A and B are shown apart, each in its own frame.
Chain A
Amino acid sequence: MLTGKLWKRILLHRYLYMMLLPCLLFFIIFSYIPMGGLMLAFKDYKFNMGITGSPWIGFVYFERFFNDYQSMNLIKNTLIISGMKLFLYLPFPIILALMFNEIRGKFFRNIAQSISYLPHFLSWVVVVGLVQRVLAPDTGLLNETIANMGGDGSTYFLMEPDYFYQIMFGSHVWKSIGWDSIIYLAAIAGINPDMYEAARMDGASKWREIWHITIPSIMPTILILFILSLGSILSAGFDQLYLLRTPGNMHLSDILDTYIIRVGLQGGQYGYATAVGLMQGLIGFILVVLANRLSRRISDTSVW
């Protein structure tokens, strides 16, 4: 219950609270109210009865999903792809931030940063379009280069499952690395310069400075971002994979998100798709809570 003192404080800072209002409204309208729709996961949805009026059917959709022959493959693909994006990708933006931090020329640093941020602003449709053109058999840049160097030059990279993970991961790194390095760069900027000065006086090399000062100082940021990203471990990035899918790599690229779109929107099974989506969210939520506890116990760094 709000005490009188708290009300007084709110009244005193009413303009600041009013500025907070649109943000709160945004989350209430677009994030919390739609959560009510999750009840669809337990209902036999009827067009004429709506979400609330449709009859309850219990855990039928969950049983159906686990009885589906595709489910294990979908979960496996999702975990592999999101695992690569979470664990394998993690050092990339950190390394880039460390590299940016070491560039002394301000002009060159600004140019390099801007170039690395740009791909973030391109949609996946554009990025995958570029990937398709570069990797096209015969006419693509890569195949032309291979042909000019005496190779075959007709490999259809997007149709070959052997190249799928490299293409998926490579395009993800290219698009995200610059933007994701910003937060680490900000954390690095917050490190007290005296620490570096002291290290240099003690004769530390550049590598030692990075290893013993920079990385430990930004470790809380790394941990917090990692914990938060665990929440989406079962969301492997719908747009990218939906666009990169070809019949050749389908058995590797079909993930829970693409499955939800296929059965939910294209197949009209809203309840079933909601159930699978709910499961994704719940598993992500549990992982975030567990990782947060573990992190608090080990390193005193936690989201809450």
Chain B
Amino acid sequence: MGKKGSIYISVFLILVLLLTACSKNNEPANGGTDGNNGTKTENGEKPTDGKPATWIADRKIKGLVFMGTDDYTEDMNAEIKQKLKDMTGIELELEIMKADHSIDGLIAGIASGDLPDFITFYLNNSGRPEMSVILKAAREGMFTDLTPLMKDTKVFSKYLQDDYLPLDTKYGVMFRPEFNGSSYFVHMNINREGGATTRKYVGGPFVRKDIADTLKVDPRTIKTSEQLYELAKKIKDGGFKDTNGNAVYPIGPSYWGGKEVSALYPDLSWGASDQRIKPDKDGKWLHEAQTEFAMKRIEFVQKLLKEKLIHPEFFTVDESRATEAALNGTSAIIGDMHNYQEFNNDMHYLPIGPLDNADSPYQMQVDFKSGYSGWAIPSTTKNPEEIVKFADFLASREGKLLWQYGLEGRDYTLDEKGNPKVKQEVLDLKVSDPNAAKKLGFAGVSNSFGELLGGTDIDRMADFGEMEYGESVHPEVLAGANGIIDYFDWDGKRKDAKINDGYPPLSFLGEFDRGTELKTAFDNYNDSLTRAYYTKNLDEAKKVMDSALKQMQAAGLDDYLKLLEQKNADEKTRVKY
């Protein structure tokens, strides 16, 4: 090749490189939406006759997941994918939008306008930041109205019944009055029965059992922050060491990394830690900044910091170092964790308390029902009814059996009642090599692809005869978790629990005219609290907190509290706290 030829080829290649980098994948997002060009079955033939009752359509469905890779994965096991195809005709393909914060990805994804057949996103309740984004998209006609499509389904038609959905899901998320009966996204993770519990969580601070035993302290007797302080002092004076021989921190950070942990001092906190608003005994709605509790808590934390009873980076330490402190026993008290942590299956950490609240003794709070995520179908998707039917299949018992337990014979067998009995080798693999187990591709081994569209109408006991995956066959898998449940007297506390249904106080920020400014001021309040913990004295801390309160008031705090009072008076918009 001559010199000229080389130059032409080089320039051509550079241009091609530039142009291909800018080009879009023109493959239609909705795949074989005409129902004819789907992939073939394992027999190499398109199914024509004898289709199963679960058959929907021969097509590919693509979903874009705006949630973290820690919680979900794009990879599907080939055999499970094929089984799904055989049962429904649908080939499911998932893509996770990677972003620093899942909401960044959601906004960018919706703004790009290039959405596949369905999208899924985090949505605990209507107060979550994602809500304002999807609401804007729904108002601007980006999503398909799902109400008519849900009418003919088995599971999702329950969403149209009067008494099925919790208040927030019904009026705050899905069937908002402004939509006049239409609904543009589906709220997931709804329990079949109101007030039912899918997992017996015991959360909050945990203390090392050997230390509690040495000090002859029953962690359950700790009921106030002052008693917790006394325990921390005893730990410090005891000179306890971690597994590496280093001195322990009496109070270490949360297992998941630095953050504010209200469970350490609920008697010095006002409202839920992510809300900080509730009414006082006279029914007057107050923000924590308007009460004495913020300064009391600052004083308490400053005392812990000064006396070196708490990890100096308790509120900011990164997750890896926090988890390491828990695993090595460096945290004598782990600020926050729960009973399902595998490292604690031998119960070498025990739960403290629970501590009493600011204005009342401890009482377990149970949500009537609560959501976790949501999904929507873009208005550009063809034949959206097929997506809804597919979601309905995944939410049915048959669908759940596939995505939660895998394949019959390979991963489980059925007992005489038709309930799955998990195979020992799967459980062994899950313990010895969790990544290899995950490749089996179902929720029991941590691949929750089916949860995205099918994780709702939850009642594991009724569906599969067990609360946790594999529990009925091998109860030792959850020996630690169950031991702590007994130790905590979870069932006893559940009997006296308060069942809440309503909106979290911050849910109405979206409809408040200065909502954006107030949200910023609330965030600033949380940051100011942490800043105040580290000030040199209480006077300085008071200045920081006064400034934060002024900012909230300038952003309309008082009007917002009045709005909450009005909302709470209406049965359809009761506020929970």
Are A and B genuine complex partners? yes
Residues of B within 8 A of A137 (CB): 312-313
Q: How many A-B residue pairs have CB under 8 A?
A: 83
Smallest CB separation, A151 vs chain B (Å): 15
Which of the 9-residue segments B73-81, B106-114, B436-444 touches chain A?
Answer: B106-114
The size bracket of the interface on B is: 35 or more
Residues of B within 8 A of A203 (CB): none
Complex CA distance for A68 and B526, rounded to whole angstroms = 19
Whether A247 contacts B18 by the Cβ 8 Å rule is no
Question: Which residue from chain B places its CB closest to the CB of A19 in the assembled complex?
Answer: B11
Residues of A within 8 A of B313 (CB): 136-137, 156
Most chain A Cβ neighbours within 10 Å, of B15, B132, B313, B524: B313
Question: Which residue from chain A places its CB closest to the CB of B22 in the assembled complex?
Answer: A29
Known contacts A18-B7, A159-B316, A247-B315; decide if A267 and B516 are in contact (CB<8 Å). Answer: yes
Whether A29 contacts B312 by the Cβ 8 Å rule is no
Q: In residues 517-565 of chain B, which contact A (Cβ within 8 Å)?
A: 517, 520, 524, 526-531, 534, 551, 554-555
Residues of A within 8 A of B142 (CB): 47-48
Interchain residue pairs with CB less than 8 A apart (16): A18-B11, A22-B18, A29-B18, A47-B137, A49-B140, A156-B312, A159-B531, A246-B530, A247-B529, A248-B530, A250-B527, A265-B104, A266-B104, A266-B129, A268-B133, A270-B111
Residues of B within 8 A of A46 (CB): 140
Smallest CB separation, B519 vs chain A (Å): 8
Top 7 A-B pairs, shortest CB-CB distance: A247-B530, A137-B312, A247-B527, A268-B107, A48-B140, A159-B534, A247-B531
Chain B 1-23 interface 0/1 with A at a Cβ cutoff of 8 Å (1 = within): 00000010001001100100010
Whether B516 contacts A156 by the Cβ 8 Å rule is no
Interface check A240, CB cutoff 8 A? no
Complex CA distance for A158 and B530, rounded to whole angstroms = 13
Beyond A29-B18, A137-B313, 6 additional pairs, beta carbon < 8 A: A47-B136, A48-B142, A69-B554, A154-B312, A265-B104, A268-B132
Chain A 255-280 interface 0/1 with B at a Cβ cutoff of 8 Å (1 = within): 00000000101111110000000000
Complex CA distance for A160 and B551, rounded to whole angstroms = 22
Interface check B361, CB cutoff 8 A? no
Interface check B103, CB cutoff 8 A? yes
Interface check B308, CB cutoff 8 A? yes
Smallest CB separation, B315 vs chain A (Å): 7
Q: In residues 68-83 of chain A, which contact B (Cβ within 8 Å)?
A: 68-70
Interface check A21, CB cutoff 8 A? yes
Smallest CB separation, A208 vs chain B (Å): 50
Interface check A209, CB cutoff 8 A? no
Complex CA distance for A251 and B535, rounded to whole angstroms = 14
Interface check B238, CB cutoff 8 A? no
Q: Which of A18, A69, A247 contacts B528 (CB 8 A)?
A: A247
Interface check B101, CB cutoff 8 A? yes
Interface check A15, CB cutoff 8 A? yes
Residues of A within 8 A of B110 (CB): 47
**Interface on A for B, CB 8 Å cutoff?**
15, 18, 21-22, 25-26, 29, 45-50, 68-70, 136-138, 154, 156, 158-160, 246-248, 250-251, 263, 265-270
Known contacts A48-B142, A50-B113, A69-B554; decide if A138 and B312 are in contact (CB<8 Å). Answer: yes
Interface check B434, CB cutoff 8 A? no
Smallest CB separation, A283 vs chain B (Å): 23
Q: Which of B15, B140, B531, B551 contacts A69 (CB 8 A)?
A: B551
Whether B534 contacts A22 by the Cβ 8 Å rule is no
Complex CA distance for A156 and B15, rounded to whole angstroms = 53
Complex CA distance for A246 and B129, rounded to whole angstroms = 22
Whether A22 contacts B14 by the Cβ 8 Å rule is yes
Interface check B141, CB cutoff 8 A? yes
Known contacts A156-B313, A156-B534, A247-B531; decide if A268 and B18 are in contact (CB<8 Å). Answer: no
Smallest CB separation, A77 vs chain B (Å): 14
Smallest CB separation, B490 vs chain A (Å): 34
Whether A68 contacts B315 by the Cβ 8 Å rule is no
Question: Which residue from chain A places its CB closest to the CB of B105 in the assembled complex?
Answer: A265
Known contacts A47-B136, A270-B111; decide if A25 and B18 are in contact (CB<8 Å). Answer: yes
Most chain A Cβ neighbours within 10 Å, of B103, B111, B528: B111
Whether A21 contacts B11 by the Cβ 8 Å rule is yes
Known contacts A159-B534, A160-B534; decide if A265 and B108 are in contact (CB<8 Å). Answer: yes
Complex CA distance for A21 and B7, rounded to whole angstroms = 13
Known contacts A18-B11, A29-B18, A69-B551; decide if A266 and B103 are in contact (CB<8 Å). Answer: yes
Known contacts A69-B551, A136-B313; decide if A266 and B101 are in contact (CB<8 Å). Answer: yes
Residues of B within 8 A of A136 (CB): 313
Question: Which residue from chain A places its CB closest to the CB of B312 in the assembled complex?
Answer: A137
Whether B136 contacts A246 by the Cβ 8 Å rule is no
Most chain B Cβ neighbours within 10 Å, of A68, A69, A160, A247: A247
Question: Which residue from chain A places its CB closest to the CB of B526 in the assembled complex?
Answer: A247
Smallest CB separation, B100 vs chain A (Å): 9
Smallest CB separation, B102 vs chain A (Å): 10
Whether B517 contacts A248 by the Cβ 8 Å rule is no
Residues of A within 8 A of B520 (CB): 70
Smallest CB separation, A124 vs chain B (Å): 14
Known contacts A159-B534, A247-B528, A247-B530; decide if A47 and B312 are in contact (CB<8 Å). Answer: no
Whether B107 contacts A248 by the Cβ 8 Å rule is no
Complex CA distance for A224 and B159, rounded to whole angstroms = 67
Complex CA distance for A70 and B520, rounded to whole angstroms = 10
Smallest CB separation, A271 vs chain B (Å): 11
Question: Which residue from chain A places its CB closest to the CB of B318 in the assembled complex?
Answer: A132
Whether A47 contacts B111 by the Cβ 8 Å rule is yes
Known contacts A69-B554, A70-B520; decide if A48 and B7 are in contact (CB<8 Å). Answer: no
Question: Which residue from chain B places its CB closest to the CB of A158 in the assembled complex?
Answer: B316
Most chain B Cβ neighbours within 10 Å, of A50, A158, A268: A268
Smallest CB separation, B508 vs chain A (Å): 17
